Amino acid sequence: MENKNGKPQRKTKMENKKEYLFTSEVVSPGHPDKCADIIADTIVDKLIIEDKNSRVASEVFVAGKNVVIGGEVKSTCQLSNEDYEKLVKDALAKIGYDGKSSFTKEQCLHPDDVNVQVLLNQQSPDISQGVDQTTGDIGAGDQGIMFGFASTETADYMPAAISYARMLSDKVYNYALAHNHKLGVDIKTQVTVDYGTKENFENCKPQKIHTIVVSAPSVEGMDIKEVRELIQGLIDDSGLPTNMYDKESTIIHINPTGRYVSHSSLHDSGLTGRKLIVDSFGGYSPIGGGAQSSKDYTKVDRSGLYAARWLAKHIVAAGLASKAVVQISYAIGVARPTSVSVDTMGTYTSANDDDLSAFVMENFALTPKWITDKFALDKPSAETFLYADVAARGQVGQSDYPWEKLDELEKFKNL
């Protein structure tokens, strides 16, 4: 429509289609950044299982065929360079880089080609004296801020967009593991949720899935039409809620460049801690100042996030708010938090944010030792949880993690 000057007529507000969109992305364990996280936490698992008092900050850089491990370690578990090399190659094989796929050594990483360089130092005694206290308590392994979040948008009290992006990533990744003659494991998914209005967004009422993006490497010679039909079938079978996903109306982009064969660290380097938003809440809430992967449980970047998520989830699950952000902060070498605050963004019910903040501070010590004991963070195992598995699946939002258990719900409901 044109106006009298021949220029396009702007639509009125009534004519505009109402949309309010929010997007989150997820990467699979085969993404180079996730490979770095998983390798780093495979080392954390090994050291803590052998010596629960191990102090670890093992950063990992993956570039081409090279894996560089740097950082600080203090442990009675002494590993040789050969031990570290085996941990790296075993982790890569579990991820899917096992040399058995139909991708060539030029197209993706093969474990036989990996060169591992170990540049680990002893942890500074200046840190140790603050962390390992004579009282038996544990001082925070660093200063910093952590945020936990929860909302009523999904059954696991996570924002909708990242929950659905994870469902898609898991479906395509598991297919790729089982059908490595077709797909590779370096996968990205992205979901845009339409809330309809900002008011719906603020009140945790997603309306529908607006757009889906899936990128997954396919073997040479596989026609793009076949690839897209295959992945479309996986999307349809991923378990997305039928009231949110309509195949006919959802915009779907599958391998949008038309070709995705070469992948892994051969074609994109990876680094620990570079997927913090993927690991947490998909950008829906604030995140803390540091990564979780590569660090032992005394590092509050890790343990503080778990505690903050546990608190936020209890607040929402108890019906005290539709969504909640919990912030915790620490000073290095000091056990008690320097601050704790709750922000329900105006969605609280019986208790306001001041009351909720006071309740948390009065009822939960939130020292590194309290958090460690609460979630058995010094006892990773195949039967409970492994840090490498957490690195692969996301730091929060998985119901089997100890810090996702709603084990003190009655205490919150009685507030």
Would the pLDDT of 132 be above 60? no
* Domain spans, the chain: 21-26+160-254, 144-152+299-414
- CATH code of 144-152+299-414, in short, is 3.30.300.10
Residue 339, pLDDT > 60, answer: yes
pLDDT at residue 137, rounded to an integer? 67
Domains 21-26+160-254 and 144-152+299-414 share a fold: yes
Kindly indicate the confidence band of residue 8, based on its pLDDT and cuts at 50, 70 and 90. very low
Q: With the CA atoms of 393, 395, 398 and 400 taken in that order, what torsion angle do they form, in degrees rounded to the nearest 10?
A: 100
Q: What is the CA radius of gyration of the chain?
A: 23
Among 278, 304, 273, 307, residue whose Cα is nearest residue 290: 273
Q: What is the model's pLDDT at position 130?
A: 52
pLDDT at 108 over 50: yes
Q: What is the pTM of this model?
A: 0.93
Question: How far is residue 371's CA from residue 300's CA, in Å, rounded to a whole number?
Answer: 9
Among residues 209, 177, 217, 205, which one has the least CA distance to residue 190? 209
Higher pLDDT, 223 or 132: 223
- What's residue 2's pLDDT? 43
Q: What is the pLDDT of residues 29-80, one digit of tens each?
A: 999 999 999 999 999 999 999 999 999 999 999 999 999 999 999 999 999 9
d(CA 326, CA 366): 12
- Residue 289 has what pLDDT? 83
* Single-letter amino acid, residue 273: G
Cα-based distances in Å from 122 to 76, 132, 200, 235? 12, 15, 51, 47
CA–CA gap between residue 359 and residue 366 (Å, rounded): 13
Question: 345 — alpha (psi -120 to 50), left (phi > 0) or beta?
Answer: left
Distance between CA atoms of 271 and 35, rounded to whole angstroms?
8
The answer to whether residue 12 scores a pLDDT higher than 60 is: no
What are the helix and strand counts (H, E) for the chain?
12, 11
> Side chain identity at 361, as an amino acid letter?
M
Q: If you average pLDDT over residues 315-327, what whole number do you get?
A: 98
CB atoms within 10 A of CB 395: 24
| pLDDT (tens digit per residue) in 367-403 | 999 999 999 999 999 999 999 999 999 999 999 999 9
Q: Compute the mean pLDDT over every residue in the chain, rounded to the nearest whole number.
A: 93
The pLDDT value given to residue 123:
65
pLDDT in tens, 261-316: 999 999 999 999 999 999 999 999 999 989 999 999 999 999 999 999 999 999 99
- For domain 21-26+160-254, the question of CATH label 3.10.620.30 is answered with no
Q: How many angstroms separate the CA atoms of 79 and 85, rounded?
A: 10
pLDDT of 142: 79
The CA distances from residue 326 to 146, 211, 307, 319, in Å, are 8, 30, 9, 16
Pairwise pLDDT comparison (333 vs 141), residue with the higher score? 333
Give the per-residue pLDDT at 125: 56
Instruction: Identify the pLDDT of residue 124.
Output: 58
The percent of residues above 70 in pLDDT, for the chain, comes to: 93
Q: How far apart are CA 98 and CA 90, in angstroms?
A: 8
How far from 120 is each of 18, 124, 304, 325, 332, CA to CA, in Å? Answer: 54, 12, 25, 36, 22
pLDDT at 16: 59
